[in-house]
Homo-oligomer: A and B are copies of this chain.
């Protein structure tokens, strides 16, 4: 039987990990477009065909990197969001937003891989979808905690979002939030990522002189707009 799962099985997962690691290095240097299977193999002292024992195609390797990146970013944000569990929701919002940007600046090519132009003909496998949700869930839970702490529901300005938002899905993450506020929650989320995409892709160059301060100001503005508790 397979008590230790065999030498070979262990070597296999190690090899997969090694491939992903060197692929990540190449990705960090040259971006997703410049990532070449042959170069990964060369870097590892292997011949290119050997990699196909572990990843059936280049896209499959990229998918694995996407999956890991989503989880890496997700756990980073979850960590800061839960570390100051007792703090005000404004502070938790600020810290979470900063951690997303910190990660994005530290891994720009991976961030672009996650949120930039999708590779053509790529369909996210279901596992990836779950991983991708983690960050959004953190943002949702912050808003949820804020509203849960408040006696009366903050009455979301009367927008009926049922015609265009997936209320059941959103209710799972934000049960204490008035559905009328779901729109603002989504907007805050898309704003953060849109801003980071614009910053990383160079579209803010002409108008923003200090990206750090600008981002903090944006985050604060959004916190106020969401009426989070100080």
Task: Report how far A116 CA is from B116 CA in the complex, Å.
Answer: 5
A residues 115-160 in Cβ contact with B at 8 Å: 115-120, 124, 129, 132-133, 136, 159
Please indicate the chain B residues that have their CB under 8 angstroms from the CB of A175 in the complex.
Answer: none
Across the interface, do B118 and A201 meet the contact criterion of CB distance under 8 Å?
A: yes
Give the copy number.
2
CA distance A134 to B150 in the complex (A): 44
Whether A104 sits at the interface, judged by CB under 8 Å, is no
CB distance A207 to B117 under 8 Å?
no
A183 to B202, CA, bound (A): 17
User: Is A217 within 8 A of B164, CB to CB?
Assistant: yes
Q: A75-109 toward B: CB 8 Å interface, digit per residue (1/0)?
A: 00000000000000000000000000000000000
Rounded to whole Å, the gap between the CB of A155 and the closest CB of chain B is 16
Chain A residues with a Cβ closer than 8 Å to the other chain, count: 54
Name the residue on B nearest A214 (C-beta). B164
Contact B198 A191 (CB under 8 A): no
Q: Decide if A166 touches B118 in the complex (CB within 8 Å).
A: no
Q: Find out whether the CB atom of A217 lies under 8 angstroms from the CB atom of B183.
A: yes
A161 to B53, CA, bound (A): 55
- Shortest distance from the beta carbon of A193 to any chain B beta carbon, whole Å: 6
**Other A-B pairs beyond A136-B207, A187-B218, 13, CB < 8 Å:** A30-B120, A31-B120, A33-B119, A33-B120, A116-B116, A116-B117, A163-B210, A164-B210, A166-B209, A186-B204, A193-B203, A194-B195, A194-B197
